[in-house]
Structure 1
Amino acid sequence: MTSAKERDTQPAGPYGEGSESSPGKTFAEPATRLIATDLDGTLLGADRDLSPRTVAALRAAEAAGIEVFFVTGRPARWMDVVVGHLARHGTAIVANGAAVYDLRADRLVEAFPLAEQEALAAAVALREAVPGTVFAVERAHGFRREPGYPWFEPDDHGSRQPVEVLLAEDLAQPVLKLLAKHPSMDPDEFLAVALAVAGHHGEITRSSMSALLEISGVGVSKATTLAKCCAERGVTAAEVVAFGDMPNDLAMLEWAGTSYAVANAHPQVLAATTRHTASNEDDGVAQVIEQIVAARRTG
């Protein structure tokens, strides 16, 4: 994100204060080497697919020598939507930073798990503070849920069980996320309560419009894993442009040298970023990428 001094001098653009999506705007050095983008609500449209313009922009970025990372709260098994549009890249940071996945090889590269005992402690604290909360456990290669947890996909195996049982099973697989769902609570209020009563047991955030929380290991976020991947490639934060829309993107947007919120982003994300682009439905990410590539060609 920009500093207070930079914010004061940022020109207003067509997509919000500090937008750099206006025609003819050039990007200051250091040159962009990596683009990190969230998927749902940011890169994907309401149909949860990539538009032709976005696909073309991603390919143009890589043709210009810019690496692309998908950085998402999704599990690896939900990455089919982008697998057909990988161009030269194939690395994804999934489960809010809890795992790095090679999409081309369909292989888990590295995991940063949530300890079972911390997940259980968080669940107990949340259940006591917010009665009616139900849980699901996302492991590296499987998903299990409590009986009251909403159905989203077929269970991997067996009957549904209380979270205490789920966390005691499949111990050979690391826990990537504990999911906490409430049927009626305000999502932001639910997050605030969870942070107060269980924040010391893991990183708690949200990416859904419903009261659904995502709990990762202490110190694990999109930002920490992205920073690690960039360091391994010799890429600095100043050389990264990031895009997001929900609270689970905030750490990544704070870390990256240049960050954008799409116009449809959560109010907290819009307030925390000085660069805004058009909505996901209007190919906001693609618009900025086109500007970056054009600046590189004329620079």
Structure 2
Amino acid sequence: MTSATDSPSPAAPRLIATDLDGTLLRDDKTVSDRTIAALAAAEEAGIEVFFVTGRPARWMDVVSDHVHGHGLAICANGAAVADLHADGKLVKVRPLGRDIALDIVHTLRAATPGVSFAVELTTGIHYEPAYPPFHLDPGATVAAAEKLLHEETPGTGAPVLKLLAHHAELAPDDFLALARTAAGHEASFTRSSPTALLEISGPGVSKASTLALCCAERGISPAEVVAFGDMPNDVEMLRWAGTSYAMGNAHPAAIAAASGRTATNGDDGVAVVIERILAERRSADAAR
């Protein structure tokens, strides 16, 4: 693992996009004082910070106090944009069609026997009896995915943000490869958990594509973005950003996608880079 960055920072970054779990957050799910200070300093210097995560908006309390001016966070791997200044209100939704989700359920049941599912709606998550329970969501409905996805009247149900698929026996990367082969033409498949847990979004939906939409609204180009991540669900974002860093604890796919590496999440790898960017900016200003 590296303890220092090994790629140059951009000359004039306008936006920092960072994953949370395994990246900005330490393993105990807290944000260190050093990282809090670095995020505040970036905002003070006029660099927007976007949290870009697989988490749903209701699980963003770990960083809601550290979202500054714009208040926005990209959640559910790009399926939603939430306003954390308004209690996580969703201001943009990119859903997975229920018909597509149902077809994927049937396809994966046949291709990977033993799979179990959860359905993440804009209103909360629900899951099958065999699926690992969500202790943070005690009000979830437990039923077969076919029932969870059923609508009495088409178009009246809450939008589906993600379909999640879990397998107790397959290796995580093997499961992802099998699922993409079986149904990758229908939706976006990725993963961020150390277990065999897949996250399935609508076609073309990813952290990168939603970040690109948010940047376009602000007139920010990919070259002006610095991104951080550690898992396969960060790969597209790391490739899209003009400058990107895989964490010292990152998955090989994230390392291959990034233009550089930084320290681990436990060693404040995001803060290390932000501090360097700001120091270089101060030096450049002093030289003028």
- Superposed CA deviations along residues 220-256 of structure 1, whole A, max 9, x for unmatched, are 0001000000000111111000000000000001111
Q: Offset of 1:63 from its aligned partner?
A: 0.3
Is contact 1:35–1:68 with CA below 8 Å preserved after alignment?
A: yes
Q: Offset of 1:155 from its aligned partner?
A: 4.0
Matched, 1:246 2:228: no
- Superposed CA deviations along residues 94-122 of structure 1, whole A, max 9, x for unmatched, are 00000000000121101000000111111
C-alpha distance in 1, partners of 2:214/2:256?
Answer: 27
2:128 to 142, 146, 152: 146
2:268 to 280, 283, 299: 283
Matched, 1:35 2:16: yes
Q: Give TM-score scaled by structure 2 length.
A: 0.93
Partner SS state of residue 114, structure 1: coil
Is contact 1:91–1:101 with CA below 8 Å preserved after alignment?
A: yes
1:8-19 equivalent positions in 2, closer than 5 A? 15=4, 18-19=6-7
2:61 to 80, 83, 102: 80
Identical residues among aligned pairs (%): 60
Structure-2 residue corresponding to 1:5? none
Q: Give TM-score scaled by structure 1 length.
A: 0.90
Q: Offset of 1:28 from its aligned partner?
A: 4.3
C-alpha distance in 2, partners of 1:94/1:64?
Answer: 25
Structure-2 residue corresponding to 1:207? 192
1:193-204 equivalent positions in 2, closer than 5 A? 193-204=178-189
Q: Offset of 1:297 from its aligned partner?
A: 1.6
Is contact 1:143–1:155 with CA below 8 Å preserved after alignment?
A: no
Partner SS state of residue 201, structure 1: coil
C-alpha distance in 1, partners of 2:249/2:145?
Answer: 34
2:145 to 152, 163, 177: 163
Matched, 1:189 2:170: no
Point out the more displaced range, 90-99 or 263-272: 263-272
Moved over 6 A (4+): none
C-alpha distance in 1, partners of 2:258/2:218?
Answer: 26
Partner SS state of residue 164, structure 1: helix
1:211-226 equivalent positions in 2, closer than 5 A? 211-226=196-211
User: Runs of 5+ in structure 1 lacking a partner?
Assistant: 1-12, 21-26
Matched, 1:60 2:41: yes
Q: Offset of 1:169 from its aligned partner?
A: 4.4
Alignment size in residue pairs: 278
Structure-2 residue corresponding to 1:24? none
C-alpha distance in 2, partners of 1:112/1:77?
Answer: 17
User: Runs of 5+ in structure 2 lacking a partner?
Assistant: none
Q: Offset of 1:89 from its aligned partner?
A: 3.9
Partner SS state of residue 104, structure 1: helix
C-alpha distance in 2, partners of 1:177/1:264?
Answer: 26
Structure-2 residue corresponding to 1:271? 256
